[in-house]
């Protein structure tokens, strides 16, 4: 039997992305039979005791892992991270109020466009003119007066920028953490809603993890259809309709795996060390590689860089492919190269890419 992970190849995909091999093994077994129940996870009723245990365990483990206070609700929703672009203003942006958006990339652009369809969403910092190479400096945000919430994206998957710390915003703070969720600890004193699509750090595509302060549920609009109301999902324990049962199961296994690795502090240290390997190769290349993100905003999850010419990028990809490295092409909107090195990506894989980068620069510089 082959190992249930394509670990003969190094998968630098931006998402869906690499998952821990042990989790995949557990998931494979649970498809045939879940925990001695005689029935597989895909076939269990979402109302039965076996799945109830799965979702309760996933929620409890999430709380422990994320050090999430009791006054936050943990929801497992569907529709991907993009559904939150509408959910959030629908629920949290009443008429007569503004919502402040910090525009740091393609995903905030979409979030802003959707929010503008629903209410008075304002862009309080715009990174278009710097090609999203950096994030706002202290004092550059131009907040509106008493916004319903401030929205930001803590890791910009396409551009490879990551907020070293949350923005200084007073009031309700919302974070799209899709491409870095649980890559490091989260400060619950400043955040009120943090959400993430699963398919990068948390599990299979199809589940959206939403962690929301309970006080916000009470403020939610009451005149929305049930499926679009955070409070309805919370009341029903994320089982308002049939939830993505398999995805929630795998997410729970990933939470346990992160805990076994030492939790979020340990994960953060590991992620910093992994990313440092690649940034060292960029910085030591004598200008051969250009990093997209300004050094003070560099992501630990998505390392974006380019060779001196698009032809060399193409050669880089072809040679990397020959040595078993996959999915290093940059996003079509910025070109170049991107190495996505989420939690499950091994340190040794970063060492391997770094040494390939050094060698490639040497030969082609």
Ligand X SMILES: Cc1ncc(COP(=O)(O)O)c(C=O)c1O
Residues marked active site are found at: 107, 176, 200
Q: Binding to ligand X by residue 80, rule CB under 6 A? A: yes
**Region for residue 5 given its phi and psi (left: phi exceeds 0; alpha: psi -120 to 50; beta: otherwise):** beta
Query: Where does this chain touch ligand X (CB under 6 A) — which range of 74-82, 234-242, 265-273, 289-297?
Result: 74-82
The correct pick among 72, 76, 107, 246 for binding ligand X (CB under 6 A) is 107
Q: Which of residues 166-185 bind ligand X (CB under 6 A)?
A: 176, 178-179
Query: Closer to ligand X at the Cβ: 131 or 314?
Result: 131
What's the rounded Cα separation, in Å, for the pair 86 and 331? 24
Closest CB 49 distance from ligand X, rounded Å = 30
What's the rounded Cα separation, in Å, for the pair 206 and 5? 20
The correct pick among 65, 112, 153, 253 for binding ligand X (CB under 6 A) is 153
x/- map, 13-42, ligand X, by CB under 6 A: --x---------------------------
Closest CB 132 distance from ligand X, rounded Å = 12
Is residue 119 a contact partner of residue 110, using CB atoms and an 8 Å limit?
no
Query: Closer to ligand X at the Cβ: 81 or 210?
Result: 81
Closest CB 176 distance from ligand X, rounded Å = 5
Query: Closer to ligand X at the Cβ: 85 or 360?
Result: 85
What's the rounded Cα separation, in Å, for the pair 152 and 14? 20
User: What is the per-residue DSSP string for 98-155?
Assistant: EEEEEE-SHHHHHHHHHHHHHSEEEEEEE-GGGTT-S-PPTT-----SS-SEEEEESE
Q: Binding to ligand X by residue 341, rule CB under 6 A? A: no
Closest CB 29 distance from ligand X, rounded Å = 27
Query: Closer to ligand X at the Cβ: 143 or 203?
Result: 203
- For 265, the token pair is 């502090």
Nearest C-alpha neighbor of 203 from the set 26, 350, 327: 26
Alpha carbon distances (Å) from 256 to 56, 60, 126, 250: 13, 10, 38, 10
Query: Closer to ligand X at the Cβ: 81 or 234?
Result: 81
Query: Where does this chain touch ligand X (CB under 6 A) — which range of 24-32, 78-86, 167-175, 215-223?
Result: 78-86
**Region for residue 37 given its phi and psi (left: phi exceeds 0; alpha: psi -120 to 50; beta: otherwise):** alpha
To 5 degrees, how large is the angle CA 21–CA 303–CA 327?
55
The count of residues interacting with ligand X (CB under 6 A) is 11
Residues that bind ligand X (CB under 6 A): 15, 80-82, 107, 153, 157, 176, 178-179, 197
């Amino acid at each position: 039997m082959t190992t249930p992970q394509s670990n003969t190849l190094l998968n630098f995909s931006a998402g869906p992305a690499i998952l821990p091999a042990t989790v995949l093994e557990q998931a494979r077994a649970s498809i045939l039979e879940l925990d001695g129940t005689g029935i597989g996870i895909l076939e269990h009723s979402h109302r039965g005791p076996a799945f109830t245990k799965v979702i309760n365990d996933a929620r409890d483990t999430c709380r422990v892992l994320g050090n999430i206070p009791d006054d936050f609700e943990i929801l497992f929703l569907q529709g991907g991270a993009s559904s939150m672009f509408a959910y959030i203003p629908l629920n949290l942006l009443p008429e007569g109020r503004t919502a402040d958006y910090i525009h740091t990339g393609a995903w905030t652009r979409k979030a802003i466009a959707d929010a503008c369809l629903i209410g008075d969403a304002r862009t309080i910092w715009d990174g278009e003119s710097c090609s999203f190479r950096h994030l706002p400096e202290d004092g550059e945000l131009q907040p509106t007066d008493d916004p319903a919430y401030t929205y930001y994206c803590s890791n910009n998957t396409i551009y490879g920028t990551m907020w070293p710390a949350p923005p200084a915003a007073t009031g309700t703070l919302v974070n799209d953490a899709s491409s870095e969720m649980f890559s490091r600890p989260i400060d619950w004193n400043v955040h009120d809603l943090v959400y993430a699509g699963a398919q990068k750090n948390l599990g299979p595509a199809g589940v959206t993890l939403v962690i929301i302060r309970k006080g916000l549920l009470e403020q939610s609009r009451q005149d929305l259809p049930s499926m679009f109301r955070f409070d309805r999902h919370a009341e029903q324990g994320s089982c308002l309709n049939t939830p993505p049962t398999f995805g929630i199961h795998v997410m729970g296994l990933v939470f346990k795996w992160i805990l076994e690795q030492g939790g979020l502090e340990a994960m953060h240290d590991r992620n910093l060390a992994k990313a440092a390997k690649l940034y060292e190769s960029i910085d030591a290349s004598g200008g051969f590689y250009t990093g997209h993100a300004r050094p003070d905003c560099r992501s630990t999850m998505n390392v974006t860089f380019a060779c001196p010419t698009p032809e060399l990028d193409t050669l880089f990809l072809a040679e990397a492919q020959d040595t078993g490295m996959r999915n290093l092409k940059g996003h079509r909107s910025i070109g170049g190269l991107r190495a996505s090195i989420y939690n499950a990506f091994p340190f040794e894989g970063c060492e391997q890419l770094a040494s390939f980068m050094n060698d490639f620069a040497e030969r082609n510089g």
